[in-house]
Amino acid sequence: MKKTALVTGASGGIGGACARLLAAEGYNVALHYNKNAAPALALSQEIGGICVGADLRDEAQVKEMFEKIEEKFGGIDVLVNNAGVARQQLFTDSTTADYDEIFGANMLSAVNCSREALKTMIHNHSGRIINISSMWGVCGASCEVLYSASKAALIGFTKALAKEVGPSGITVNCIAPGVIDTKMNANLSAEDIAALADDTPLCRIGTPEEVAKAVAFFAADSSAFITGQVLGVDGGII
């Protein structure tokens, strides 16, 4: 029987690349979107998956999303918590509303989806949860304090949850991408990208497909004895 993977934030570059690769490796794939439906819908038709829309901060919407996936494919075997937002601003200019938005998208979404996915995973004594953090969650970034804090929280969540659900045969791992060629970095100038590439030992920025390959590794049986880990896909910049 084919396994099923849910990729949140599948309208974005990394999420789309993860969905495409997991489908190529034989998974049923559910592609989540919130507001940007068109890219996820187009990709779902391309790879033969299904699209599911939800505000992942809302427990009721998350529950409904999982019910739709279960009706189509059965329970989730692999959860990729990729959905998130970024914002560059001075910390002194940030507000409580900014905090709620960033932590809601980057952290609460993973909490809600993981809690729902674990219902099936614990019953099956098997499962993979893969969280997409950031290199800034490891070392912090000026003018991205709230974003860095939310991604650091996701790393702590990974390590703690891995210990809690390990006895149930479930692995929980985290990927910390570096500078990746996605729309999230489209606000950076060519000069900024060049400077970041110059700071990276491999002398270039990464691709969404390279992050997707790390996700596929953590999803595979070959990583069954690896849990609670943070893998930097960052060209050596951290």
Active site residues: 147
3-state secondary structure of 230: strand
Q: Is 217 exposed, middle or buried (0-12, 13-18, 19+ CB in 10 A)?
A: middle
CB 117 within 8 A of CB 78: no
Partners of 131 in beta bridges: 81, 174
What angle (nearest 5°) sits at the alpha carbon of residue 127, between those of residues 113 and 231? 80
DSSP 56-79: TT-HHHHHHHHHHHHHHH-S-SEE
Neighbours of 50 (CB within 10 A): 19
SS3 percent helix, strand, coil of the chain, rounded to 5, is 55, 15, 30
* Burial of residue 203, with CB atoms counted within 10 A of its CB: 0-12 exposed, 13-18 middle, 19 or more buried: exposed
